[in-house]
Amino acid sequence: MKKAIYRILDANLDRAREGLRIIEEWCRLGLNNQTLAEECKQLRQELAQWHSWELRQARDTPGDVGTDISHPQEEIRDSIEQLLQANLCRAQEALRVLEEYSKLYNPEMASACKQLRYRVYTIESKLFNSYRHQRLQSAALYLVTSPEPDILKTVEAALKGGLNLVQYRHKDGNDSDRLEKADQLCQLCHQYNALFIVNDRVDIALAVDADGVHLGQNDAPVSFARELLGNQKIIGRSTTNKQELNRAIAERADYVGVGPFYETPTKPGKSPLTKEYIDYVKAKCPVPWFAIGGIDLSNLDAILTIGAQRVAVVRAIMQAEQPSQVTRQFLAQLIRR
């Protein structure tokens, strides 16, 4: 009995430290986030203090019946997000095992492992908040979908062209169909390591585990969406004037849409923005902002000359004969700027 407990503690100390090391490497080299990398390292060192020679001596790798046990989901990682989540869960589960079995070995160790587990939960929240927001900062092109018959095919073509930010927008239809399509698009975007945002519907974003939600002026408050989705998810807000922009900033939206720059059928009856408002956005907006409204390859240079660095498009890609090629052309022009 004693040896079995020692073996359990030894195995899970290794498992927790291994999981944390994988997270640490991404924080250090993937995100360049010194704070999170140091926290992971500190956790590993604190765990190492409990990994005594007595526990290591109980190790019996040849006699471990679990070394050949695996699951197909462990063999493949579809995205960096999935890899990080799997290893966070690995560390959290191992710490829970350590907490329980340490009660039979050393109550102080049990208490320490409990606190370490809570700290890993905090790292998880900070990590995905940082990860998603870093990708948002790097996104120059934002595809807002329209309900085309081949929407999945078109979005995948754009993703193959380098797109890394997609919003599912479908104002009509029943909720069951929208939920199914949102789920399919979410999985597709994550397969290509792209962010997936749902327009308007916080409930659908929550149901499919989207990366966030985009809210119009007549939709739910940002605070309501934040309460449901959490701080790690992205929340955007549409704006057409100074008052709406100031409110979005006060509500702590993560990004804003600024438009329409040109007349567009997606916003019937909306007049194009004034130069005064565009200048105000450039001077006052502290978060990423996307120019939107009638933008295509023919007027992109004019939009960039005005001072926009990011654009959101609908028809230019959704109705393109070659979405991959059009996406590459957009990105090439945006990157040059």
CATH code, 326: 3.20.20.70
Last residue within a domain, chosen from 113, 134, 155: 134
Q: Is residue 67 part of a domain?
A: no
Task: Report the SS3 class of residue 75.
Answer: helix
End residue of a domain, out of 134, 162, 177: 134
- Residue of 67, 80, 89, 113 lying closest to 20 (CA atoms): 89
pLDDT value at 81 more than 90: no
Average pLDDT over residues 109-129: 92
Nearest Cα residue to 79 out of 146, 30, 147? 30
Interatomic CA distance for residues 277 and 257, integer angstroms: 13
Inside any domain, residue 65: no
Look up 237 and say whether it is catalytic: no
**Whole-number pLDDT of residue 60:** 78
| Length, in residues, of the chain | 337
Mean pLDDT value of segment 287-310: 94
pLDDT in tens, 11-27: 999 999 999 999 999 99
Residue 39 in tokens: 């926290």
- 77 as an active site residue: the answer is no
Are 261 and 312 part of one and the same domain? yes
Catalytic residue among 17, 44, 117, 169: 169
Across the chain, mean pLDDT equals: 91
Is residue 55, in this structure, part of any structural domain at all?
A: yes
Distance CA 120, CA 115 (A): 9
* pLDDT for the residue numbered 73: 56
Looking at residue 218, the DSSP 8-state letter turns out to be T
Claim to verify: residue 305 and residue 254 sit in the same structural domain: yes
**DSSP letters for 92-121:** HHHHHHHHHHHTTT-HHHHHHHHHHHHHHH
Is 127 part of any domain? yes
DSSP-assigned states of every residue in 79-94: SHHHHHHHHHHHHHHH
CB 226 within 8 A of CB 235: yes
Does 306 lie in the same domain as 194?
yes
Residue 250 belongs to some domain of the structure: yes
Catalytic hit among 102, 117, 238, 324: 238
Give the pLDDT confidence score for residue 212 in this predicted structure. 96
Convert the pLDDT of each residue in 32-68 to its tens digit. Answer: 889 999 999 999 999 999 999 999 998 877 776 666 5
Cβ burial of 318 (10 Å; 0-12, 13-18, 19+) is buried
- Banded pLDDT at 269 (limits 50, 70, 90): low
Tell me: pLDDT of 267 over 90. no
Asked whether 258 and 289 are in contact (CB, 8 A), the reply is yes
| pLDDT greater at residue 325 or residue 126 | 325
- State what percent of residues in the chain have pLDDT above 70: 93
Q: Is position 267 annotated as part of the catalytic site?
A: yes
Confidence of residue 332 (pLDDT cuts 50, 70, 90): very high
The pLDDT of residue 116: 97
My answer on whether 127 and 215 are in the same domain is: no
Do 293 and 208 lie in one domain? The reply is yes
Q: Determine, yes or no, domain membership for 68.
A: no
- Quickly state the pLDDT bin for 257 (edges 50, 70, 90): very high
Asked if the model's pLDDT at residue 268 lies above 70, the reply is: no
pLDDT per residue as tens digits for the range 206-239 = 999 999 999 998 888 999 999 999 888 999 999 9
Same domain for 55 and 151, yes or no, is: no
- How far is Cα of residue 105 from the mean position of the Cα atoms in its chain? 40
Nearest to 287 by CA among 223, 229, 237: 237
Looking at the fold, whether 96 and 167 belong to one and the same domain comes out as no
Q: Are residues 125 and 178 in the same domain?
A: no
> What SS3 state is found at 196?
strand
* Total structural domains within the chain: 2
Is the distance from CB of 291 to CB of 312 less than 8 angstroms?
Answer: yes
How does 82-121 read in b/e, with b if 16+ C-beta sit within 10 Å? eebbebbebbbebbebbbebbeebeeebbebbeebbeebe
Q: Please report the pLDDT score of residue 58 as a whole number.
A: 85
CB 213 within 8 A of CB 249: no
Domain that holds residue 19: 2-60+76-134
Please say if the pLDDT value at position 70 is more than 70: no
Whether 256 is covered by a domain: the verdict is: yes
Using 50, 70 and 90 to split pLDDT, how confident is the model at 75? low
Of all helices (H) and strands (E), which one includes residue 190? helix 175-191
* Model pLDDT for residues 134-150, shown as the tens digit of each residue: 889 999 999 999 998 89
Residue that has been written with the tokens 């008052």 in this structure: 243
Say yes or no: 180 and 53 in one domain.
no
C-alpha distance across the termini of the chain, in Å: 67
Catalytic residue selected from 119, 267, 282, 315: 267
- pTM passes above 0.75: no
Q: Is residue 281 part of a domain?
A: yes
Same domain for 216 and 250, yes or no, is yes
Please give the pLDDT value at position 87: 95
Residues 122 and 152 in one domain: no
pLDDT confidence band for 152 (50 / 70 / 90)? very high
Domain match, 162 and 17 both:
no
